[in-house]
Chains A and B, each alone.
Chain A
Amino acid sequence: MPKHDTPLLDELESGPWPSFVTDIKRQAETKPECWDILGQLELSFKERITHWKHGGIVGVFGYGGGIVGRYSDVPKQFPGVAHFHTVRLNQPSSKFYSSAKLRDICNLWEKYGSGMTNMHGSTGDLVLLGTTTPNLEPLFYELTHDLKQDLGGSGSNLRTPACCLGKARCEWSCYDTQALCHHLTMHYQDEIHRPAFPYKFKFKMSGCPNDCVAAIARSDFAVIGTWRDDIRIDQAAVKGYINGDFPATGGAHAGKDWGAFNINKEVIQLCPTGCMSMAGDELKIDNAECTRCMHCINAMPRALRPGVDQGASILVGAKAPILDGAQFATLTIPFLEVNQENDFEEVIEQIEKIWDWWMEVGKNRERVGETIQRVGLPTFLSVMEVDIVPQHVKEPRSNPYVFWQSEEVEGGFDRDVREFRKRHAQ
């Protein structure tokens, strides 16, 4: 495949940010189909429209997900990308790699694909961009036999779960996000690889309410770490921050002179519940009033840490706007123990309750958050068999239209209108 003139793309080779154009050109020296990636992309830049055809179902035997078919609509001009399927590899939890593992993946992709990747896709997979249908089975064979790895999810199935880096390198993680992510991924291989749901379903695990994997915005089932005892305080370190011995927010604001750290202005007054105060030079927290927003802990990481009675909040039903509008996940279980000792039994129990219900009542291409909107949160909470608590709402409803059930009302709904008329003339 020859080089194409790419005057528009060439303009993206300058500037301080790494250039994907320069990178693709470098790859094209050994994988000439990359010249056709650039050629077709240049055509899109010129015409301001995509040149990829709609879909095309491809895959490996026995799997209904993991490969996304992609074909060029100008294959004669750019034969190197006529077939250009995507392969999603399930990433290891929180995306640590050894160079040896990455080199194996690179070698596999050099043999069977274009050499281009996404590190990583939005859901979390390691995405290999661009291969042909005949390459899929040999690639899958070597992936599973030699690399001992597997595909991720696509379509109406459980999508590849993802987590924050958790206890591996963060002091705030309230449960082992990686262990839970890996366990659920292994436990639900069938659900990841064989679509059986009304629509996609995503798990995301964040270790604390900072929510670095955006679980609350992006996942149908969000497990977000929290605690229910007292924030741990190191009063000596609090004094250290007040005296300017340590940088506030771990130095995150070091690039601008914001003046000396002011604990009153920067921590106590920014607390959303007003549960903090100074008693002399001691910081006091009324922990019963704390909503665990993380601001004070973020601001003074040496002085404050989450409590030790740790677990997770379970929130359900987040999604991007298509179709009814964006939804954040709704708090369903305020506190759940996340216990590796019993193989996360409590978490799995909640997941299966949701699935059993959603697979029955969910409509085609309806995310679970939309199903909950359609039937109402009270119905969903009943399905989940949870205690109904004020934490489930921001505020009580402001209309009086309650769906009372017959059995809730004395005497039920069955009445005799003739009896009624004997006492009340028409």
Chain B
Amino acid sequence: MGYDPANPMVDRITDIGPPHFEQFFPPVIKANYGKWLYHEITQPGVLMHKGESGDECYTVRVGSARLISIELIREMCDIADAHCEGFLRFTTRNNVEFMVDSADKVQPLLDDLASRGNKFPVGGTGAGITNIVHTQGWVHCHTPATDASGVVKAVMDDLFEHFTSMKLPAQVRVALACCLNMCGAVHASDIAILGIHRKPPMIDHDAISGLCELPLAIASCPLGAVKPAKATNEAGEEVKSVKVNAARCMFCGNCYTMCPAMPLADPEGDGIAILVGGKVSNSRSMPKFSKLVIPFLPNTPPRWPETVQAVRQIVDAYAADARKYERVGEWAERIGWERFFEKCDIPFTIKSIDDYRLAYDTWRTSTQFKFTSHIK
């Protein structure tokens, strides 16, 4: 008995949750669960985990576009069936991992992956650049200030050598969020690519009464820039609406999230900001937020050359100058942010000086600084 549209509540099953994870473990994972001893990266993209039992699990890590088709997933399943006893997993950074239980099964798996064009690049391990965590962008989101998949493709094409190698001082985590909502949570990444708006919302007086709760729209603004106002709609009637104090707008888009009659996306206004130096891990230094170093780059589809170039410049300067183990943020703090801007050849602008809440924490209240080229 299948679904009956006349009786949708008959035999209804709800709140059963996800399937239990254990049924999806490859045998070598199941046998050594909680009993792993150490790991080694035997080559870029290939990890070996050694169990207390002496068992070895070899993992081949493969990049993916995240936005993928069921045809591609089925191909991944074919690979898992042929080499991995029908199991595979995905990482939090949208890579795919194929696991085998002995060293001699690795090369046939690598050969199979390599035979399938560029669909399954092997890498993303160690001191390199793994997949870019990212959001939907223009392919599926209603609030983006830039695309996601297109920018990621362009940046990863350029950084590809670092996906397949491990020659950087430490891992560099790149993330992209296509607006300030930051579904991609780029606020703690080594390099963050962030879609931003730069024009205040327009107000659709013809639609606002039907679409929005005005008090919610007004309350949504963190800076009190949205105020109640009378306006005239297209039919010439006076309607209750809102007005925006453009001088106070910080272009966060929260009003649009609450009120669809306040769109702010714009081809010229929207673009990308670059933030750097964040990290999540507690290794050596405490977790750090990413800091805004490039306030705006234009949206230039299909390949966003300005953004690709900016990321490349930062990675190259870091690769040339940082010490082994230093994350981008640790490097910038050691050399000083004034030196960071100089070494990366990024102009320092007033836009990088915080004037939002808690801003004072970032101002320099010390006589310690470096005489970089910024001081004339």
Contact = CB atoms under 8 A, between A and B. Distances in A.
Interface of A: 8-9, 11-12, 14-21, 23-24, 26-27, 30, 34, 37, 41, 44-55, 61-63, 70, 84, 86, 89-103, 105-106, 109-110, 115-120, 122, 124, 129-130, 137-138, 141-142, 144-145, 148-150, 162, 164-165, 167-171, 173, 176, 178, 182, 185-186, 189-190, 193, 209-214, 216-218, 246-247, 249-256, 258, 266, 270, 272, 292-295, 298-299, 301-302, 320-326, 328, 364-365
B357 A324 contact: yes
Given A19-B118, A26-B71, A101-B19, 4 more contacts: A99-B81, A106-B70, A120-B66, A252-B171
B89 A322 contact: no
Interface string B177-193: 10011111111100000
26 contacts: A11-B302, A12-B153, A14-B157, A16-B118, A17-B118, A20-B149, A27-B70, A44-B138, A44-B147, A49-B270, A51-B138, A96-B88, A96-B89, A102-B77, A117-B67, A142-B3, A150-B16, A189-B16, A209-B283, A217-B287, A255-B167, A270-B325, A320-B181, A322-B181, A322-B252, A328-B289
Given A16-B160, A250-B39, A55 B20 contact: no
Contacts of B285: 272
B142 A53 contact: yes
Contacts of B25: 96, 168
B57 A117 contact: no
Contacts of A27: 69-71
Contacts of A217: 185, 187-188, 278, 280, 287
A209 B282 contact: yes
A252 B166 contact: yes
A9 to B, nearest CB: 6
Given A217-B188, A301-B38, A15 B24 contact: no
Contacts of A214: 92, 185, 188, 280
B301 A8 contact: yes
B185 to A, nearest CB: 5
Contact of B281 (A34, A110, A294): A294
B144 A50 contact: yes
A323 B85 CA distance: 47
A94 B41 contact: no
Enumerate the 8 nearest inter-chain pairs by beta-carbon distance, A residue then B residue, closest first: A252-B126, A15-B157, A255-B167, A54-B260, A320-B182, A99-B77, A27-B69, A189-B15
A149 to B, nearest CB: 6
Contacts of A141: 2-3, 8
| Binding site secondary structure of chain B | loop
B29 A138 contact: no
Contacts of A54: 142-143, 256, 260, 263
A298 B38 CA distance: 10
Nearest to B78: A99
A73 B207 CA distance: 15
Nearest to B282: A209
Interface residues of B, number: 134
Contact of A96 (B24, B256, B281): B24
B189 to A, nearest CB: 9
Contacts of A142: 2-3
B73 A102 contact: yes
B374 interface: no
Contacts of A150: 14-18
Question: Which of B81, B139, B182, B356 is packed against the most chain A CB atoms within 10 Å?
Answer: B139
B200 interface: no
Interface stretch (B103-111, B127-135, B234-242, B337-345): B127-135
Contacts of A250: 38-41, 126
A242 B334 CA distance: 27
Contacts of B220: 365
Contacts of B38: 171, 250, 301-302
B3 A138 contact: yes
Nearest to A313: B282
B33 A322 contact: no
B14 A193 contact: yes
B162 to A, nearest CB: 9
